[in-house]
Chains A and B, each alone.
Chain A
Amino acid sequence: MPEMIKESKSKKILSIIGKAAVYLIMGIFAFMTLYPIFWLIMNSFKTTREFQVSQLALPKSPTLQNYVGAWQIGDFSLLFPNSILYTLGATVGIIFLSLLAGFAFAKLKSKATKPIYNSFIMGILLTTQTLMIPLFLEVNLLGIYNTRFAVLIVYIGAGLPIGIYLSTEYIRAIPSAVVESARIDGAGFFRIFLSIIVPMSVPVATTLAILNITNTWNEFALINILVSKTELKSLPLGIYKFSGSLSSDYGKQFAALTIGMVPMLAFYIIFRKQITKGVAAGAIKG
Chain B
Amino acid sequence: MSSTLSAPFWGVFMTYSSKSYIEEKRAYWAMILPAFTIYLLVMAFPIVLSIVLSVSNYSGGKMFGGEKWGFAGFDAYLRVFRDPWFWNALKNNIYIVLVSVFGQLPLGFIFAYFIYARIVKAPEFWQGVLYVPNIISVIVVGLLWQTIFSPHGPIAEVINSIRVREFQNQVRGIFNAAGGFSLSDDVIQKILDLVGPSGQAIFSDPLIDLRDLLSSFHGEPIEEVYNALGNLFVQKWSPTFLTKSNIAMLPILFVILWMYTGMYLILFLANMQKIDVQIVESARIDGANEGQVMRYIILPALSGTIVNAAILAISGSLSSFALVFAMTGGGPSRVTEILSIYMYNNAFLGRPNFPLANAISLIMVLISFGLILLTKAVEKRYGGKEE
Task: Report A's interface with B, CB cutoff 8 A.
Answer: 18-19, 22-23, 26, 29-30, 32-34, 36-37, 39-40, 51-52, 54-56, 97-98, 100-101, 103-105, 108-110, 112, 116, 119-120, 123, 125-138, 140-141, 153-154, 156-158, 160-161, 164, 183, 188-190, 193, 214, 217-218, 220-221, 225, 235-236, 239-240, 242-243, 247, 250, 253-254, 257, 260-261, 264-265, 267-268, 272, 275-277, 279-280, 283-285
Contacts and interface: CB of A to CB of B under 8 A. Distances in A.
A193 B28 CA distance: 12
Given A134-B53, A154-B42, 5 more contacts: A36-B144, A131-B46, A218-B137, A257-B140, A280-B267
A126 B130 contact: no
Contact of B361 (A131, A240, A254): A131
B146 to A, nearest CB: 7
Contact of A100 (B34, B127, B319, B368): B34
A30 B136 contact: no
B137 A235 contact: yes
A254 B146 CA distance: 12
A126 to B, nearest CB: 6
A264 B136 contact: yes
B242 to A, nearest CB: 12
Contact of A126 (B127, B152, B340, B365): B365
B39 A157 contact: yes
B93 to A, nearest CB: 11
A266 B27 CA distance: 41
Contacts of A108: 24, 27-28, 31
Interface stretch (B180-188, B203-211, B243-251, B310-318): B310-318
A160 B139 contact: no
Nearest to B270: A280
B154 A55 contact: yes
Contact of A189 (B23, B34, B143): B23
Contact of A103 (B31, B42, B347): B31
Nearest to B258: A32
A268 B46 CA distance: 34
B363 to A, nearest CB: 9
A183 to B, nearest CB: 8
12 contacts: A19-B119, A119-B39, A127-B315, A131-B43, A134-B50, A157-B39, A220-B138, A220-B325, A221-B325, A265-B135, A272-B128, A275-B135
A130 to B, nearest CB: 4
A134 B28 contact: no
B344 interface: yes
Given A127-B315, A134-B358, A247-B143, A33 B49 contact: no
A157 B43 contact: yes
Interface residues of B, number: 94
Contact of B63 (A141, A161, A243, A268): A141
Nearest to A183: B20
B135 A268 contact: yes
Contact of B311 (A23, A39, A125, A189): A125
Contact of A130 (B41, B145, B319): B319
Identify the 5 closest CB pairs spanning chains A and B, nearest first: A157-B42, A280-B270, A127-B319, A189-B27, A134-B46
Interface centre among A140, A221, A250 (most CB of B within 10 A): A221
A119 B40 CA distance: 10
A109 B24 contact: yes
Contacts of B322: 220-221, 236
A257 to B, nearest CB: 5
A96 B131 CA distance: 28
Contact of B309 (A52, A120, A283): A283
B32 A26 contact: no
Given A243-B326, A261-B140, A284-B308, A22 B114 contact: yes
Contact of A280 (B42, B258, B262, B271): B271
Contacts of A26: 111, 114, 120, 126, 130
Interface centre among A36, A135, A153 (most CB of B within 10 A): A36
A100 B365 CA distance: 29
A114 B361 CA distance: 28
Interface centre among B120, B143, B311, B368 (most CB of A within 10 A): B143
Contact of A160 (B39, B316, B372): B39
Contacts of A235: 137
Contacts of B43: 123, 126, 128, 131, 157, 161
A137 B213 CA distance: 67
A100 B134 CA distance: 30
Contacts of B64: 141
B144 A279 contact: no
Given A26-B111, A279-B267, A125 B368 contact: yes
